[in-house]
Amino acid sequence: MELSSTTDPARRSFLPVDAESCFPIQNLPFGVFKPKDGKPRCGVAIGDSVLDLAVLDEADLLPSFDEVGLFGDSTLNRLGSLGRTAWRTLRCRLSQLLDIDEPAIRDNASLRQRALHLCSDVEMMLPVAIGDFTDFYASKEHATNVGTMFRGVDNALQPNWLHLPVGYHGRASSVVVSGTPVHRPNGQRKGPDDEAPSFGPSRAIDFELEMGFVIGSGNKLSESISVEEAEDHIFGLVLVNDWSARDIQRWEYVPLGPFLGKSFCTSISPWIVTLDALAPFRCPGPEQVPTPLPYLQSSQPGAFEIEMKVSLTTDNISEPVLLSRSNFKYLYWSMSQQLAHHTSNGCNMRPGDLLASGTISGPSPDTYGSMLELAWNRQRPIQLPNGDTRVMLEDGDAITMQGWAQGDGFRVGFGEVTGVVG
């Protein structure tokens, strides 16, 4: 089967899929789910259903890859470690099996009953065991906005920012799947007019609209991954909300960077969308001036046209309020550049490692990817439909992020990542 045919807009599944569903046959993202009376196992999203890969494997319908029980794993780490050829082979086979003209599942009522679960009937799990988590600062608009607030417009970007993807190592243990409650962390806080710091709950919880990518096959210690090879190591993408306690962060981050203000919670969406599914939406990223050093130069566009939006509901507002619409294409530094730079010193990546983009902000205020920017450091309170205002998030506030690439009559989506502060 030709890889390109898996994203053909005319392709249809025998299962009904709404045109605005995130999960048409052109997508087929990987995840880990737990049925009502079963153990977590690997699955693929199709329409409003989850396809059980362990059941299909037992029916000898999937490639084995010489890996016993692969699809019964409670994480996707082992599948990711097999490399891009294996992911493509599996995705092509699943596309065949779900095609409207393929009878293997379509005409087998018993198999359909065992292999297909409604999304509403299963619990989605963290898709991979995350050994390491790195957060970048790859949006020029976001970095410029934050720098302008705290250092002034003439010193908004630090001298290194246009030469390398700036990043820091986050806390992998506090990465959670969408729907996990977000606790308000304690920490030291010191306002500009305070004589001394105090300790207590953060008064400035913020969201950050990000995209993350999951490492599939890694590299050995002391070896690097080139910018041209980088996508062969990227299993797929997830939505990321890297929650921030701005007051804690502001006091602690000099001189070594984020710590307790960021490590209390990071939420990700449960479905890993492959680069092959996103291939039709590849596009050039922003022009990079000055030209990056040779090890960061790529021969192909590294951006993707992916719409992203952030919505808020509160204890007093049940209908989602749109806060921001941004786009993945705004990122100045591409995923391939981020990965190439991260490993340029010989740092080893392992299956399941998560790398996130940092806040994705666009060129206008309605495209800003954090409350810090939307309310411009508390100077421009956000007006809500019921008369309430927000400069930061309050207890009971729920943030939902969504992302999708729009095709001709279909969309390749990520579902959503949501969390309630409390």
Question: How many residues does the structure list for the chain?
Answer: 422
| CA distances for 258 relative to 162, 220, 253, 394, angstroms | 20, 27, 5, 22
* Domain count of the fold of the chain: 2
Q: Are residues 148 and 91 both part of a single domain?
A: no
Give the integer Cα–Cα distance in Å for 118 and 196: 54
Please name the amino acid found at residue 37. Answer: D
pTM: 0.97
Q: Are residues 171 and 317 both part of a single domain?
A: yes
Q: Are residues 11 and 66 both part of a single domain?
A: yes
Q: Are residues 237 and 284 both part of a single domain?
A: yes
Within 8 A by CB and 6+ apart from 358, the residues are 135, 136, 137, 138, 139, 142, 167, 208, 210, 242
Of the three residues 86, 107, 124, the one that is the final residue of a domain is 124
DSSP 204: -
Q: pLDDT in tens for each of the 422 residues of the chain? A: 677 799 999 999 999 999 999 999 999 999 999 999 899 999 999 999 999 999 999 999 999 898 999 999 999 999 999 999 999 999 999 999 999 999 999 999 999 999 999 999 999 999 999 999 999 999 999 999 999 998 999 999 999 999 999 999 999 999 999 999 999 999 999 998 999 999 999 999 999 999 999 999 999 999 999 999 999 999 999 999 999 999 999 999 999 999 999 999 999 999 999 999 999 999 999 999 999 999 999 999 999 999 999 999 999 999 999 999 999 999 999 999 999 999 999 999 999 999 999 999 999 999 999 999 999 999 999 999 999 999 999 999 999 999 999 999 999 999 999 999 99
Tokens standing for residue 69:
């029980």
Q: Are residues 91 and 142 both part of a single domain?
A: no
Residue 351 φ/ψ, nearest 5 degrees: -55, 130
Within 8 A by CB and 6+ apart from 152, the residues are none
Which residue in the block uniquely carries the two structure tokens 């989850």?
Answer: 50
Tokens standing for residue 313:
């509901």
Q: Are residues 242 and 287 both part of a single domain?
A: yes
Residues forming the active site: 142
Q: For residue 333, which of 268, 286, 391, 300 has the smallest C-alpha distance?
A: 286
Q: Are residues 69 and 103 both part of a single domain?
A: yes
Q: For residue 260, which of 246, 249, 272 has the smallest C-alpha distance?
A: 249
Q: Are residues 118 and 212 both part of a single domain?
A: no
Of the three residues 74, 94, 124, the one that is the final residue of a domain is 124
Q: Are residues 91 and 239 both part of a single domain?
A: no
Residue numbers of the domain that contains 143: 133-420
Q: Are residues 212 and 337 both part of a single domain?
A: yes
Q: Are residues 210 and 357 both part of a single domain?
A: yes
Which residue in the block uniquely carries the two structure tokens 């906005």?
Answer: 145
Of the three residues 87, 102, 124, the one that is the final residue of a domain is 124
How much of the chain is helix, strand and coil, in % rounded to 5?
25, 25, 50
Q: Are residues 293 and 249 both part of a single domain?
A: yes
| CA distances for 178 relative to 37, 125, 240, 278, 394, angstroms | 21, 9, 9, 22, 19
Residue 93: is it exposed, middle or buried by C-beta count within 10 angstroms (0-12/13-18/19+)? middle
DSSP line for 371-395 = HHHHTTTTTSPEEPTTS-EESSB-T
Output the domain CATH number for residue 172.
Answer: 3.90.850.10
Output the domain CATH number for residue 95.
Answer: 2.30.30.230
Give the integer Cα–Cα distance in Å for 293 and 275: 25
